[in-house]
A and B are shown apart, each in its own frame.
Chain A
Amino acid sequence: MTTNATDAAIERLLFEREIEKFLYREAELLDDRRYNDWIELIAEDIHYHMPVRRNVKFGEQHRENSDSESEISWFDEGKRTLAGRVRQINTGLHWAEEPFSRVRHLITNIQVGDLDGDEVPVRSNFYCWSNRLRDEVNVFVGTRQDVLRRDPETGFKIAKRLILLDQNVLLSKVITTFF
C-alpha cells in the first residue's frame, strides 16, 4: 500500500471508530437514564420512525413496514414529542417507568456509509434488554438505519432514525425506552 492509501484507510478507520463511539455513548446515556443528555443528541428536525411490521406475501415486501406517509406506526415523530416523553419520564409519576426499568442497549453490526456533506448514513443492530420490578422481562431486537449529522458540540446529532423492531404483534405491554 502506498502511504496515501494507508493514510486514507486509517482516516476511514478513525471515522468509523468515532461513529461507533458516538453510538455506544448514546446507548450509555439511555442505559444510565440520562435522558436530558440523550435528547441533546437529537437533531431539531429528526424523523424518529418505528413502523409496524406486517406479515406479507412474497413479492409484497414493499408493504412489510408501515408507511410513514399514510399508515400507523409504533413511533413516527419529531423532537418535540420525544422531548415530551423525556419530560414525562422525569416526572417520576410515569408509572410504566416508575420505578425505572433496568435497560441495556447492546449495539452491534455497525456499518458506516459514506459521508455526504456533513451527513453520514449508519446502520446498526440492537439488542435491548429491559427488566422491570421483580421479574418482568421485555426484549427488543431489531435494526436501525440512521442519518448522523456532524455537530460541533456533540460530535454528531441524530437527524433520522428508522427502527425496524423484529416483532409483528408487540410482545410487550409498552415501549418506554428509546432506541
Chain B
Amino acid sequence: MVNIIKSRGDRSLRDLVDLEKGTVAREIYVNEEIYQQELEQIYTRAWLFIGHESQVPNPGDFVMSRMGEEEVLLVRDRKNKLHVFLNTCRHRGMKVCRYDDGNTLLFTCPFHGWSYDTDGALVGVPHHKAAFHEELIKADWGLHEVPQMANYFGSIWATWDPKAPSFLDYMGVFAPTIQWCFQSTDGEDNGVELFNPATKWRIPTNWKFPGFSFDGDSAHAAMTHRSVNVAAIGPQGDMEGGSRAGMKAPFPKTSYEMMIPELGHGGHNYMFEQPGVSDYADTWQTEPKEVDEYYRETRAKKQEKYKDVYLHAGDGGTALIWPNVNIQPQRILIWHPHGVGMTESWRQYPVDKNAPKVVKDAQRRYMMRYGGPTGVTESDDMENWNYAFPASLGTVAQRLPYNFQMGLGHDFKDDRLPGMTFNYRIAEENQRARLRRWLEFMEAGSWDDLYPVNPKKNTDK
C-alpha cells in the first residue's frame, strides 16, 4: 500500500484508475494514505466553494466555512472587503472563532488573547511590551489568508495555491453555468441570496461517493428513490401524489450529461434544440397562488432576455465543479472530506432575493422536505453512499474494481457548445471526467502539470 504513494512518479496510481476500460480500484475510495494525499494534492490546490456574499452583508460580518478538512472564516472587513482566513491563531493554533456566524470588531483568541482585526491583521498581543519586548513583528503574524479569492456573481471561491490559474480559467466553459445558477429566476445576475443557516451533517463514507456521483449518476434515481414514487410524495408538486412530469410544457430540449473532462467539471444539463428558455410548467399547486404567479412572471422575463441564446443550464441545469461541489439554481451541495471514511455534507439554498415572502417561504419549505438528511428524497441516497463504503473495505472486496463503463466511448461533441463533451443523459461520463481529473491532481507535481490543459497528454496512457 505504501508503495502506491511512494511510487507516485512511476504512474502506479494510473494502474488503479483505468479510464480506457472504465474500471477503478476500490482502494482509491478506502485507502487512508491515498486520502491523506488527496488533502495535499487536491484540497490545497483546487478552487473551492466558500459561500455567498449575502451571508456577510455588513462590515464585520463573518460566517464559518470550510476548505477540505479545515475551517475557514469568510469575513467582510470594516472597509467592506471580503476575506477568507484559516480559523487558527498564529500563536498556538487555537480557533480564533467558535461561532457559526455573527458580527464582530475583532477576533480575539480565547487562549492567550491575541486579537485580529477583521482584515486579518494582528492588532493586539498581551504583554507585547513586557514579555515580547516589542520584538514580535505583528505584521508577520496576521491570520492566514487564502492567496486567491474570487467573487463570481456573488458566489465566493478560494484556493490555497497562489499558482493556481484564475477562477475563470479553472472553470472554463462551465463559468457561465455558475453565473446562471446565481441568477434570479428572471435571469438577472446577482439575483439571489442564501437562506440561513447552512445544514451540515456527517455521512460515514468517503467524500468521493457523494462528491463524484451526485447528479453525475442519473442511473441511480429510479432505484434509490423508488419509495418516493411508490408513496407518491414527489415533493415539488403535491405531497398527495401529483406528478410534475405530465404538466411540463413542450419545448424542444434534450437532457445530456455535459462535461469538460480536461477540467473535471460536469453537469446534468439540457441542450436546447432552439435558442431560449423553456416555458413555465404549472407547479406549486399546494402553495398560495402568488407563488405560481411569481415564478410564471419571472420565467416570462427570462424567456424574453434569453430568447436568442442557447442555454445549457439555468433552467434545471447543474454544475458539478471539481472537486466537491454541485451548484444548482436552487441548491448548493458541498461534500467536505472528513477522514477517509467520513464526509461532512453542507447544503445551502439560494432564493431570489427580491421575491415576496410567500414565494421565499414556499421554496424554503420545498427544499427542507426534499433534501438533506431529513428530506424524503435524499435520505435514501445517504444509505447507499454510506454502505457502499464498508462493503468496499474487505480484502477480497478490494480485489474487485468498480465499474464505470456506462456510456464509455459514446461521448460526442456539439458545435453549439464548443468545449463541452456530451453523453446520453444516463451515463457515467461525468464521473469518468472527475476520476480523470482526480488522477491528474494526484500525480501532478505542480499546476504546471495541470494547466493549461493539454487534452492529448491526458488521454495518453
Distance in angstroms from B96 CB to nearest chain A CB is: 13
A83 nearest in chain B by CB position: B239
Chain B residues within 8 Å of A81, by CB = 239, 369, 376
| Complex Cα–Cα for A173 and B338 (A) | 13
The interface residues of chain A lying within 8 Å CB-to-CB of B365 are: 76-77
Which of A70, A171, A174, A175 has the largest count of B CB atoms less than 10 A from its CB? A174
Determine if A54 and B373 form an interchain contact, defined as CB atoms under 8 angstroms apart: no
Contact with B along A65-93 (1 / 0, CB 8 A): 01000111111110011011101101101
A108 at the A/B interface (Cβ < 8 Å)? no
Q: B33 on the interface (CB 8 Å rule)?
A: no
A71 adjacent to B227 (CB under 8 Å):
no
Instruction: State A117–B364 Cα separation when bound (angstroms).
Output: 33
From known contacts A56-B100, A91-B231, infer whether A174 and B382 are also in contact, taking CB-CB under 8 Å.
yes
With contacts A80-B240, A169-B201, A172-B202 taken as known, whether A91 is within 8 angstroms of B230 at the C-beta atoms is yes
**A94 near B379 (CB under 8 angstroms)?**
yes
A51 to B461, CA, bound (A): 51
Assembled-state Cα–Cα distance A84/B236 (Å): 13
Q: Is the CB of A170 within 8 A of B240?
A: no
* CB atoms of B368 and A55 under 8 A apart: no
List residues of chain A with CB within 8 A of the CB of B379.
Answer: 94, 96, 174-176
Interchain nearest-CB distance for A168 vs B (Å): 7
- Given A95-B224, A169-B201, A72-B100 contact (CB < 8 Å): no
Point out the residues of chain B lying under 8 angstroms from A57, CB to CB: 99, 102, 104
- B151 contacts partner chain A, Cβ-Cβ < 8 Å: no
- Indicate whether B439 reaches chain A with its CB closer than 8 angstroms: no
**Which residues from B are CB-within-8-Å of A83?**
239
User: Which A residues touch B196, using CB under 8 A?
Assistant: 66, 71-72
Separation in Å of the B6 CB from the closest CB of chain A? 34
Is the CB–CB distance between A88 and B376 below 8 Å? yes
Contacts of B226 in A (CB 8 A): 91, 93
Contact B202 A170 (CB under 8 A): yes
B147-206 interface with A by 8 A CB criterion = 195-204
Mask, A30-51, CB within 8 Å of B = 1, is 0000000000000000000010
Check B373 against A174 for contact (C-beta < 8 Å).
yes
Least distance between A131 CB and chain B CB atoms (Å) = 15
Cα of A176 to Cα of B386 in the assembled complex, Å: 15
How many residues of B sit at the interface, in one of the four size bands?
35 or more
Do B232 and A87 touch (CB < 8 A)? yes
Q: Is the CB of A96 within 8 A of B360?
A: no
Question: Closest approach, in angstroms, between the C-beta of B194 and any C-beta of chain A?
Answer: 9
A-B contact count, CB below 8 Å? 128
- Docked Cα-Cα span, A90 to B231, in Å, equals 8
User: Is the CB of A52 closer than 8 A to any CB of chain B?
Assistant: yes
Chain B residues closer than 8 Å to A87, beta-carbon distance: 231-233
Which of A55, A95, A171, A176 lies at the interface centre, i.e. has the most chain B CB atoms within 10 A of its CB?
A95
Whether A170 and B200, one on each chain, are in contact in the complex, defined by CB atoms closer than 8 angstroms, is yes
Q: What B residues does A171 contact at CB under 8 A? A: 201-202
Interface membership of A116, Cβ < 8 A: no
Partner pick for A85 among B101, B201, B376, CB 8 A cutoff:
B376
Residue of A50, A70, A87, A173 most packed against chain B (CB within 10 A): A173
CA distance A168 to B197 in the complex (A): 11
* A52 and B380 form a contact (CB under 8 A): no
**Complex: chain A residue closest to B348, CB-CB:** A72
User: In the complex, what residues of A have CB within 8 A of residue B200's CB?
Assistant: 168-170
On whether A173 and B374 interact (CB within 8 A), knowing A77-B369, A90-B231, A91-B227, the answer reads no
A139→B336 CA distance, assembly (Å): 23
List residues of A (108-136) whose CB comes within 8 Å of B's CBs.
133, 136
CB pair B98–A52 under 8 Å, yes or no, is no
Give bound CA distance, A5 to B198, whole Å.
52
**24 interchain pairs (CB within 8 A)?**
A54-B197, A55-B98, A55-B99, A56-B101, A56-B102, A66-B196, A66-B197, A70-B364, A72-B198, A75-B374, A80-B286, A84-B231, A84-B233, A87-B233, A88-B231, A93-B227, A94-B380, A168-B100, A169-B344, A171-B201, A173-B201, A173-B203, A174-B373, A174-B379
Given contacts A91-B231, A94-B379, A173-B386, could you give 14 more A-B pairs where the C-beta distance is less than 8 Å? A70-B364, A74-B373, A81-B376, A90-B231, A93-B227, A95-B384, A133-B387, A169-B200, A169-B344, A170-B202, A172-B201, A173-B203, A173-B382, A175-B374
The 6 closest A-B pairs by CB, nearest first: A170-B201, A84-B233, A87-B231, A94-B227, A93-B227, A173-B382
